[in-house]
Amino acid sequence: MNARDFKTIEISRRDNIFIRFLYNTAPGRVALRLFTTRTVSKIFGLFMSSRISKLLIRRFVKRNRIDMSEYVDKKYASFNDFFTRKVKAGHRAFSKVLSDLPAPCDGKLTAYRIAANSAFQIKGSVYTLNSLLQDRALAGEFADGVCLIFRLTPDDYHRYAFIDDGEIISRKRIKGILHTVRPIALRRYNVYAQNTREYMVMSTKRFGKIVQMEVGALFVGRISNHPLKDTFKRGDEKGMFEFGGSTIVMLFKRDAVLIDDAIYENTRRNRETVVKMGYRIGEKSLRPKRWFK
């Protein structure tokens, strides 16, 4: 499937009353200091892992129009057990063309070109790679590269995968708070540089040195990455998010990948491109380049 055939949605789509209260009112922003803490997220997560939380599943499926025929049929022990459900074999298949760049997850995708000073802009907020990675040397390596942001929403599949064969160079966890990753928060806060996040630096066979980062969100304190060996294969499951929507950020070096122009155009028009895990979103750049760890 070509990116021009993907569905798109307006980035500034309507938020629920509670989220608008938290981010658009003075009393809400006071309460926000409590709700964005990891402690509140942990308490909320304990409830979502309890047996009583199963009562929420049916309404959630209906409200978010989730096609349960795609998923393994089982009895769920809790809402979180349901939320991290697995797809059936054959769903979320990766392209067999190995030069294709696949999406690592379901999500609403925007694409940004990173400037020579390692900065990029989202909804009027300027981000620097150093603030995102908290590693100035690593940030410098991705100047003039590409940043992809996959915003997962409650209707998405919340497991994510590796996009290529490769090996792990390093991993890092950054403690932070837990804003929502909805567009309403991006207008006021540098969410991706403030939220709890984990990232892995990888050397991949076809796309060179990349960064894959998982970002926690409001009521989503738990990023569950699997224990891994030093190497991985394209399509291997990397981990999952527990309840809520969240985000995966991917960084590519200059001249490493060619992102489909339609995705850039959608981003410019303030629209997100709706993708599924394994969808082709670009390809390996044909420009010759040597890769270094």
Active site (catalytic) residues? 106, 246
CA atoms of 258 and 285, how far apart (whole Å): 5
CA atoms of 44 and 219, how far apart (whole Å): 6
- Cβ count near 25 (within 10 Å): 12
What would the two tokens of residue 69 be?
Answer: 């025929």
Name every residue whose Cβ is closer than 8 Å to that of residue 148 and which is 6 or more positions away in sequence.
109, 110, 111, 112, 249, 250, 251, 252, 259, 281
For 53, which DSSP code? G
The end-to-end CA distance of the chain, in Å, is 32
